[in-house]
Amino acid sequence: MLVLTRRLNQSIKIGDDIEITVIEVRGDQVRLGVAAPRDVSVHRKEIYLQIQQENRAASAAPDAASLDALGDALSQQGKTK
């Protein structure tokens, strides 16, 4: 892990497109500003981990009963049209 020391209003650059600036230091909290292209996702780590967990759960193979229920629902929907 690279460890850098920055003061208020100082920045670090990541590549050519990402800049992180120290906006405020208050007690044990630091506010950071992140300037990055719109196609780069920026999340707090706990949110990132939650998104990853939800993605894994969503991509898990459904059980046969769930597929049967979905098939029944779709077939009922087709009959009402």
How confident is the model over 20-53, as pLDDT tens digits? 999 999 999 999 999 999 999 999 999 999 999 9
Same domain, 22 and 33: yes
Three-state DSSP class for residue 43: coil
Residue 67, in any domain of the structure: yes
- For residues 3 and 23, the answer to whether their CB atoms sit within 8 Å is no
DSSP β-bridge partners for residue 35? 19
66 with 49, same domain: the answer is yes
Residues 27 and 15 in one domain: yes
In this structure, the answer to whether residues 34 and 50 fall within a common structural domain is no
**31 and 50 in a common domain:** no
The per-residue pLDDT for 15 is: 97
Q: State whether 15 and 34 are in the same domain.
A: yes
Does 26 share its domain with 14? yes
Provide the domain limits for residue 61. 43-75
Query: Which residues lie across from 25 on neighbouring strands?
Result: 30
The C-alpha atoms of residue 10 and residue 15 are separated, in whole angstroms, by: 16
Threshold 0.85, pTM exceeds: no
- How many distinct structural domains can be found in the chain? 2
